[in-house]
Amino acid sequence: MPQTVVCKQCGHLLYKGVELKPPTEIIQRNGGVCPRCGRKLTFRIEDVEIIPIVEEAG
Ligand SMILES: [Zn+2]
Q: How far is the CA of 16 from the centre of ligand 1 (A)?
A: 15
Q: How far is the CA of 4 from the centre of ligand 1 (A)?
A: 14
Q: How far is the CA of 25 from the centre of ligand 1 (A)?
A: 17
Name the stretches of the chain with pLDDT < 50: none
What pLDDT, on a 0 to 100 scale, did the predictor assign at position 42? 75
What pLDDT, on a 0 to 100 scale, did the predictor assign at position 58? 64
What pLDDT, on a 0 to 100 scale, did the predictor assign at position 38? 94
Residue 24, CB-side half-sphere exposure with 13 Å CA sphere: 0
DSSP state of 33: B
What pLDDT, on a 0 to 100 scale, did the predictor assign at position 35? 93
Q: How far is the CA of 39 from the centre of ligand 1 (A)?
A: 6
What pLDDT, on a 0 to 100 scale, did the predictor assign at position 44? 61
pTM score, whole prediction: 0.66
Q: What is the spatial distance between Cα 48 and Cα 50, in angstroms, rounded to a whole number?
A: 7
Q: How far is the CA of 11 from the centre of ligand 1 (A)?
A: 6
What pLDDT, on a 0 to 100 scale, did the predictor assign at position 36? 95
